[in-house]
Amino acid sequence: MADGELLDSMDQGVFVFRDEMSLRPKADLAPMRYLEISAFHVRPGHGREWRELVKMVKAAYEKALPEAHWGVFEQMYGGDGGTYLVLTARKTLAEVDRASQNHEQFAVAMGEDGMKKLDELFAASVESSQHQVFAFNPRMSYVADEWIKADPDFWKPKAAAPAAKPAAEDKKAKP
């Protein structure tokens, strides 16, 4: 009810964590400030190609980029089916920038034939995809007490004192 004025629409779904598709997921979100969310809608009947694609991507990232991490969640209820969310928590936007610059290392790890196969699997299995970056806003978040204890300056910032009026404004206001 408290958020009613801020919402113009709402959608709900139930997603299940898929460990076999995830790579070193970061469970501690308290120090994170951004969340990259990539949503993939897999074509009906193409789950095998999707799983093969994810397996290839995961193996290349394990080989080339040891700091890479993400968690994959499959939608079970609330949608058309075949939707997967890939969540990657980031501490800074610089991490987002670095991740976007890792394509060359990824391509080397995949190899030319691997990249060709990856493109084919993507075209065959993915109906649509969407990629977004969200910033955590402590004023709009309901977080666990552990998060607040871990970083109280961010999650529960102290209200700033009102700025003092300049002396010149005080004199003008008096008759």
For residue 52, what are the CA distances in angstroms to 10, 20, 83, 119, 173?
33, 11, 16, 12, 73
Alpha-carbon gap, residue 116 to 107, rounded angstroms: 10
Domains with residue ranges and CATH for the chain: 10-173 (3.30.70.100)
Alpha-carbon gap, residue 27 to 144, rounded angstroms: 13
pLDDT in tens, 51-94: 999 999 999 999 999 889 999 999 999 888 899 999 999 999 99
For residue 86, what are the CA distances in angstroms to 36, 51, 79, 148, 155?
8, 13, 16, 25, 25
pLDDT in tens, 83-137: 999 999 999 999 988 888 888 899 999 999 999 999 999 999 999 999 999 999 9
Of the candidates 133, 130, 131, which has an alpha carbon nearest to the alpha carbon of residue 93?
A: 133
- 28: helix, strand or coil: coil
Mean pLDDT of the chain: 88
pLDDT over 80 (residue 163):
no
Confidence of residue 170 (pLDDT cuts 50, 70, 90): low
Confidence of residue 5 (pLDDT cuts 50, 70, 90): confident
